[in-house]
Chain A
Amino acid sequence: MMNKQADQDLFRPVDPAYYDDKEVFRPSLSVWKETVLSVLKNKLALLGLTLLFLIVTLAIVGPMMAPYGGSEQNLMNTNAEPSSEHWFGTDDLGRDVWVRTWLGARVSLTIGIAAALIDLIIGLIVGGISGYMAGRGKKGDQIDGVLMRLVEILYGIPYLLLVILLMVVMEPGIKTIIIALSVTGWVGMARIVRGQILQLKSNEYIQAAEKLGTSTPKIIMRHLLPNTMGIIIVNLTFTIPSAIFAESFLSFIGLGVQAPLASWGTMANDALGVILSGHWWRLFFPGLMISLTMFAFNALGDGLQDSLDPRARK
């Protein structure tokens, strides 16, 4: 009797609402949250971010931490080894390498970030217009065609070669370098933005939004931009270091910022003659900082790329 009762209980139909509050199905994380989480999980990206933070902080406060001016000479104490007085030593004019390194950081970072931002803006505008216009009637295709021809031609010219040419004829200085770097630098970004927009445009949800009468600015703001953001940010983390490299390269071959202004490239160039005489600190510290900065941006970019790429996500 008892058994039968138990069986009846067991085989009683279950209330259809039984599973409603049970977590049988897994809630999904939002894309944004997942991205932030995976960036933080990515050790390389985190390392890059930390390094960048340190370098930027030191570029701001570093020169104030030592009681010397950037072009303050002390001919009594030239080419001194690193010591408690001069943390990174002094150069052949007795200037403090620590102070000059961080002043150089300001120049390099300013040029890198400014050039990359200008590239971004021009690239977004040209790439955006081109991508948006493509396939929009004869006129649209013509606009796209003209812009893309321009991009193609500029893309075919070696970047640094053109920059060198421009630098030869322009007044040297920070502004000039930024301009010279931006004249051709935007081409890569424009190509990427255009490609992204073209790809997105073929997506059904964009076509649906268009058919439903959503206004063009709204489509661009709500659909196109947010979906290209990821790849743009990743690209930015790669254009900044290449601009920084270009600046130090130009300064190294004598076309960059001019004395008394210091940049990592000019410091490395000045130190070239003395490397054999053993004054390693004059090359080492600016060289280390260029490398660390490039490393930080590249590591961050790699991490971001991994986290934004749905294929790479597990």
Chain B
Amino acid sequence: MNRLLEVENLGVNFKTYGGEVKAVRNVSFHVDKGEIVAIVGESGSGKSVTVQTVMGLIPKPPAIINSGKVLFEGKDLMTLSKKQLKKVNGSKMSMVFQDPMTSLNPTMKIGHQIAEVLIVHKNLSKAEARKKAIEMIKLVGIPNAEERYDQYPHEFSGGMRQRAMISIALACSPELLIADEPTTALDVTIQAQVLELMKDLKTKINTAIILITHDLGVVAETAERVIVMYAGMIMETSSVDAIFNNPKHPYTWGLLESIPDITTSSEKQRLIPIEGTPPDLFSPPIGCPFAPRCKYAMEICVNQMPPDFEIDEGHTAKCWLNDPRSLGAEEILELRGRGREREASTN
């Protein structure tokens, strides 16, 4: 069995003064050993909440997990005690956060922050942990590893800190690495380096990676499979090829249209944003959550939640357009009187 992680029917709410926010609804997906899966979506789509729930990092309260299973190597993490979960976290499953500037403890030496994981999970002695930590610092491409071991985070640049974060996450050679927008806070050139590093380490350590991002460019370069999330739900999931060549959800089309295209940069090309904002998750629409922003919305979209239509093996899309009864997308656009031609989604 190659399945590493299986999330079934996950639902997470947040209790606030204004009521309960339905942050994640009915989310199911899986990750196989050694593969890179990307979760894509705009801010507030529930990507971070989903993976933090998987890691058991979501604070309860205010969060309430109202349904779902998280099977990791066949064991349901939801049924584990806090203590048992701590044995998994950081050793078999680890996480890299978005902002390397604030994710490291400012008053602890970088080396200690790496060695700490080894001491806790691998029962290494202090000296052994130090040796291994220095190896890790070298592995993630930080020069002068021994000297760097004794430095504090403020002596590191943003990219170097993210490398340090990655070395913490990979110190125990985990089966699964969750990277929550690991490059968003970095300069573009550093971004590429960090992604390259992660891909490289993935082959060295054979770790599966969940990569959270809102940048489809990053997805195209790194991931093997893609999950598109919107308003706390999975809209479309498929292989990277299918997402770029045969997307089946208007939200995915929108995301693709908003990628800058370098190949046609000679002409002045405008990015096409998805108009509108995500719906209020206090009382999400009964029908498709994307319908209010969708150019192709139909009566049924307003009133009925679309099921996951299977397009191909491993490719599903939660959109009524894929129902055999539906009209084609072009026809709908014409009928809605907008006539604006959809940009080819296959650019």
Contact = CB atoms under 8 A, between A and B. Distances in A.
Interface of A: 7, 9-16, 18-19, 22-26, 314
A13 B328 CA distance: 11
Which has the most chain A C-beta neighbours within 10 Å: B285, B298, B337? B298
A11 B338 contact: no
A11 B327 contact: yes
Chief secondary structure at chain A's binding surface = loop
A22 B284 CA distance: 12
Contact of B280 (A15, A18, A24): A24
B326 interface: yes
B292 interface: yes
A11 B325 contact: yes
A25 B280 contact: yes
Interface string B275-300: 00101101001000001100011111
A14 B17 contact: no
B123 interface: no
B298 A12 contact: yes
B16 interface: yes
A311 to B, nearest CB: 14
B280 A13 contact: no
Nearest 3 A/B pairs, CB to CB? A10-B300, A26-B280, A19-B292
Nearest to B325: A7
B71 interface: no
Contacts of A19: 291-292
A275 to B, nearest CB: 48
Contacts, number: 55
Nearest to A23: B280
Given A18-B302, A314-B16, A13 B296 contact: yes
A24 B292 contact: yes
Interface of B: 16-17, 62, 277, 279-280, 282, 285, 291-292, 296-302, 304, 320, 323, 325-327, 332, 335-338
B277 A25 contact: yes
B298 A25 contact: no
Contacts of B320: 11
B325 A14 contact: no
Contacts of B337: 16
B299 A10 contact: yes
A12 B280 contact: no
A122 B235 CA distance: 60
Which has the most chain B C-beta neighbours within 10 Å: A11, A16, A18, A314? A11
B300 A11 contact: yes
A16 B332 CA distance: 11
Which has the most chain B C-beta neighbours within 10 Å: A12, A19, A22, A314? A19
Contacts of B296: 13
A10 B320 CA distance: 10
Contact of A24 (B279, B298, B299, B300): B279
Contacts of A14: 291, 297-299, 301-302, 336
Contacts of A15: 336
A175 to B, nearest CB: 48
Which has the most chain A C-beta neighbours within 10 Å: B16, B299, B335? B299
Given A10-B299, A24-B285, A16 B277 contact: no
Nearest to A41: B17
B297 A13 contact: yes
B335 A13 contact: yes
Contacts of B300: 10-11
Contacts of B301: 14
Contacts of B325: 7, 10-11
Nearest to A7: B325
A9 B299 CA distance: 7
Nearest to B303: A10
A19 B332 CA distance: 17
B331 to A, nearest CB: 9
A160 to B, nearest CB: 35
A7 to B, nearest CB: 5
Contact of B279 (A7, A9, A25, A314): A25
A11 B280 contact: no
A9 B337 CA distance: 18
B327 A16 contact: no
Contacts of A11: 298-300, 320, 323, 325-327
B284 to A, nearest CB: 9
A309 to B, nearest CB: 15
Contacts of B336: 13-16
A12 to B, nearest CB: 5
Given A11-B299, A18-B302, A314-B62, 6 more contacts: A10-B299, A12-B299, A13-B332, A15-B336, A18-B297, A314-B16
B62 to A, nearest CB: 8
Contacts of A13: 296-299, 327, 332, 335-336
Nearest to A12: B299
B283 to A, nearest CB: 8
Contacts of A12: 298-299, 335
6 contacts: A14-B297, A15-B336, A22-B292, A24-B279, A24-B285, A25-B277
Which has the most chain A C-beta neighbours within 10 Å: B16, B291, B292? B292
Contacts of B302: 14, 18
B129 to A, nearest CB: 36
Nearest to A3: B325
A275 B80 CA distance: 61
Which has the most chain B C-beta neighbours within 10 Å: A23, A24, A314? A24
A208 B285 CA distance: 39
Contacts of A25: 277, 279-280
A13 B329 CA distance: 10
Nearest to B332: A13
B328 to A, nearest CB: 11
Which has the most chain B C-beta neighbours within 10 Å: A14, A15, A18? A14
